[in-house]
Amino acid sequence: MKKNLLLALVISLFGVAALSLITPGAAMATAQAAEAPKSDEVKAEAPAAATVAAAPDMKKEGEKNMKTALLIIDVQNDYFPNGKMELHKSLDASLKIKDLLEQSRSKAMPVIHIQHISIWPGSTFFLPGTPGAEIHENVKPKAGEKVIVKNFPNSFRKTELEEYLRKNNISKLVIVGMMTHMCVDTTVRAAFDLGFESVLVGDCCATRDLSIGDKKILAEDVQTSFLAAINGVFAKVITKDEAIELLKKF
């Protein structure tokens, strides 16, 4: 069942050609899954995922013109070495995002940069007008690429993001960025609530150590836990290499 849902999501985001990247016979399996009635088990265990799986079979007017965009969240200088809120392996993640960004540009795929500016009293990083709030050089926007400034973890809250996506017929998102446990997680869940389909590229995200009481949670464990919680219902979590291969078919 999980295999069929993944195949259907791949088709929805990147087209039938992407099936050649998965397994022989995937097209037949997906076709059979599309024709078969949904079982009570599917309805009971994964209603949201079942909705995503059914999406490729919908023939709504105008659906064929819907597009996929790359959404880059908060890849800004303060998250890097010598910044005011350095994350674990932020440089490594940014280099992988750079690879994905270059592939997206080569396919003329819409790219949206989210930039966080902290306006709240007591904020210590991403302060207005500071170098730390600037987008990192590895993913600097090019002319024509959309930049949206936000002030909350949710990239949709009090911004033009939703309006921009709908105006440009973008219904599917490939999401990367920082911090995994904060703005990435919040934005992915908000996108799901608003009806957008998302793929989250896990190794193109970065986070930091957290703590609760006297217990410290290492960044690697924070990363794994949040990606695991997102995967399945809110988005499909994949790797950068998997995303690159899929974008080659875009």
Query: Is the previous residue joined to 178 through a cis bond, with omega within 30 degrees of 0?
Result: no
Exposure string for 175-203, b = 16+ CB within 10 A, e = fewer: bbbbbbbbbbbbbbbbbbeeebbbbbbbb
Residues 153, 39 within the same domain: no
Cα dist from 242 to 22, 118, 174, 200, 249, whole Å: 10, 34, 12, 11, 12
Quick one: pLDDT at residue 248?
86
Number of domains in the chain: 2
Answer with the one of 57, 79, 98 that is the final residue of a domain: 57
pLDDT for 178: 98
Same domain, yes or no, for 166 and 44?
Answer: no
What pLDDT score does 150 carry? 98
1, amino acid identity: M
Q: Are residues 7 and 109 in the same domain?
A: no
Same-domain check for residues 127 and 219: yes
DSSP three-state, residue 96: helix
CA dihedral of residues 221, 8, 100, 176 (deg, nearest 10): -40
The radius of gyration computed from the CA coordinates of the chain, to the nearest angstrom, equals 18
107 and 138 within one domain: yes
204 catalytic? Reply is: no
In order along its 250 residues, the chain shows pLDDT tens digits of 544 544 555 555 555 445 444 444 444 444 444 444 444 443 444 444 434 433 333 334 445 568 999 999 999 999 999 999 999 999 999 999 999 999 999 999 999 999 999 999 999 999 999 999 999 999 999 999 999 999 999 999 999 999 999 999 999 999 999 999 999 999 999 999 999 999 999 999 999 999 999 999 999 999 999 999 999 999 999 999 999 998 888 7
Choose the catalytic residue: 150, 172, 236, 240.
Answer: 150
Residue 36 is part of which domain span?
2-57
195 vs 211: CA distance, rounded Å: 33
**CATH number (domain holding residue 125):** 3.40.50.850
How buried is 245 (Cβ within 10 angstroms: 0-12 exposed, 13-18 middle, 19+ buried)? middle
pTM of the full structure: 0.77
| Residue at which a domain ends, from 57, 74, 99 | 57
Same domain flag for 124 and 142: yes
Query: Of 78, 96, 172, 183, which one is the catalytic site residue?
Result: 183
Give the amino acid at 5. Answer: L
Q: Which is catalytic among the residues 74, 78, 185, 203?
A: 74
Q: Note whether 37 and 118 are same-domain residues.
A: no
50 shares its domain with 73: no
Same structural domain for residues 174 and 100? Answer: yes
Same domain, 204 and 119: yes
The two three-digit tokens of residue 15, written as one number = 């087209």
Let me know whether 48 and 76 are in one domain.
no
Specify whether 209 is catalytic.
no
205 and 84 both lie in a single domain:
yes
pLDDT at 12: 58
> Is 150 designated active site?
yes
What does the DSSP assignment read for 36-67?
SPPPHHHHHH-HHHHHHHHGGG---TTGGG-E
Secondary structure (3-state) at 144: coil
